Chain A
Amino acid sequence: MDADARRRQLAAAINRVAAGDQAALRLVYAETSAKLFGVCLRILGERSEAEDVLQEVYLTVWRKAASFEESVASPITWLVAIARNRSIDRLRASGSSRASLPIEAAAEVPDPGLSAVERLEIGEDQARLRDCLHELEERQSTAIRAAFLDGFTYDELAAKANVPLGTMKSWIRRGLLKLRTCLER
């Protein structure tokens, strides 16, 4: 199945979930749980926590499916946002410091060897984002990637990069502004 058909099928399944169809939720889970588990695991760094949060993610999908709008977000970015928000909330609630994680780990590039199933189609937005990130200073794009992938706070990012908090905020904020200008072009 090509990426477009896959995306349409997933969107249709989410719409059926909104109507209370549990089998459709099972389908969404089968299609996306490996990706979302990867996202949760990356942020939480601990399997049992990530498993628990993953359950919350799909229960949230069940509850919020009616708010999914195909015209606004692709199904997978909508799901990834839920997985990230749930993981980050869990992380902040636990208050654990993750000083051991190196910031460089976040700069890694997508593995081109991923199978089609693993490379969930994120679409044109993703290619555009990659181009726009390349226009940023390296320290800006590195910090933005690390924040997104690992859920680091400004404080954690500043400590890891060994720069004052204000400097890190400035890097990221200026990076985000440039990114928005580029993404809206």
Chain B
Amino acid sequence: MSDEDTIGGDDRHDLTAAEYALGVLGAEDRRAVEFRMASEPKFAAEVAFWETRLGGLAEAVPAVVPPTKVWAGIEDRLSASLSPPRERTGFWNSLAFWRTFAIASAGLASASMAGLVYLAQIPSLGPPLLATLDEQSGQPGFLAAANPADGTVTVVPAALLTGALQQSYELWVIPPGGKPHSLGLVDPKRSVKVVVPPELLPHVSADSTLAISIEPVGGSPTGQPTGPVIANGKLASL
């Protein structure tokens, strides 16, 4: 394998992005890549580069018209995800508000402003850490406010999520350079306050990453993320 030796360290790094885009990686490696995409924008851009360039290969695949029931199913799942929030109105619970906010807010600065406003609604909350949990390449999917003083993390959906019923959304904290630790399940339709286990509290600090992955109902069976990471972001103090 002398040829393999000519591939330098940096190139190996970048090839992981190509391997992900090409699709040769196993499930665990794919999750690891998604976590890296979450915390390294340059790496995420490399994946996008490969997805764009390799995309042309799809022209070799013949088009096949799907049965009409597929669209009907999409409509059903969309309306199922749209109607409940409309019924429980209230400005602060309104997904429309959070979604508009999510689209409008580009960075943590504006997120902090709205975060502050939101947090003002919650009585007796100490100085928090905030994170916007962005979806893979941009739009915030969740807002998170961590309160180390009482050991809780409040997670608010910012985007309209349309998950299947047979899945759970699991929240993870990833200390810089460390592995993901589960903080429990969150809800894509309403805000959830998660109580952080005492042994994980030290990880809930500035520069740790919060991420949400899709898992089987009840959460990851392995203790590590097994499904796609749908949103993530770094904690920062106000």
Contact = CB atoms under 8 A, between A and B. Distances in A.
Interface of A: 18-20, 22, 25-26, 29, 33-35, 37-39, 41-42, 50-51, 54-56, 58-59, 62-64, 66-67, 69, 72-74, 76-78, 80-81, 84-85, 88-89, 92-93, 108-111, 114, 117-120, 122-123, 125-130, 144-145, 147-149, 151-155, 157, 166, 169-170, 172-174, 176-177, 179-180, 183
Interface string B31-66: 000000000000000001001111111111111111
26 contacts: A22-B78, A29-B74, A33-B70, A34-B63, A42-B61, A62-B78, A63-B160, A64-B139, A78-B52, A81-B51, A84-B23, A84-B58, A89-B30, A93-B27, A108-B60, A128-B56, A130-B56, A144-B57, A147-B23, A148-B22, A148-B57, A148-B58, A151-B23, A153-B25, A154-B25, A174-B7
A73 B54 CA distance: 11
A92 to B, nearest CB: 4
Contacts of A69: 137-138
A73 to B, nearest CB: 5
A86 B63 CA distance: 17
Given A51-B73, A78-B55, A118-B62, 5 more contacts: A66-B138, A74-B55, A109-B60, A149-B57, A177-B11
Contacts of B71: 26, 29, 33
Contacts of A19: 103
A182 B136 CA distance: 28
A19 B102 CA distance: 11
A154 B171 CA distance: 31
Contacts of B102: 66
Nearest to B69: A51
Main secondary structure of the interface of B (DSSP, over half): helix
Nearest to A123: B56
Q: Which of B18, B63, B136, B162 has the most CB of A within 10 A?
A: B63
Given A41-B64, A173-B7, A153 B55 contact: no
B56 A145 contact: no
A149 B57 CA distance: 7
A59 B162 CA distance: 6
Contacts of A176: 15, 18-19, 22
B59 A119 contact: yes
A54 B72 CA distance: 12
Contact of B66 (A54, A93, A119, A144): A54
Nearest to B14: A180
A34 B162 contact: no
Nearest to A121: B59
Contact of B56 (A62, A63, A126): A126
A177 B15 CA distance: 8
Contacts of A125: 52-53, 55-56
Given A73-B51, A152-B24, A172-B24, A67 B59 contact: no
Given A20-B99, A55-B74, A129-B53, A180 B136 contact: no
Contacts of B55: 73-74, 76-78, 80-81, 122, 125-126
Q: Lowest 5 CB-CB distances: which A-B pairs, in order?
A: A77-B55, A126-B56, A34-B63, A92-B27, A67-B138
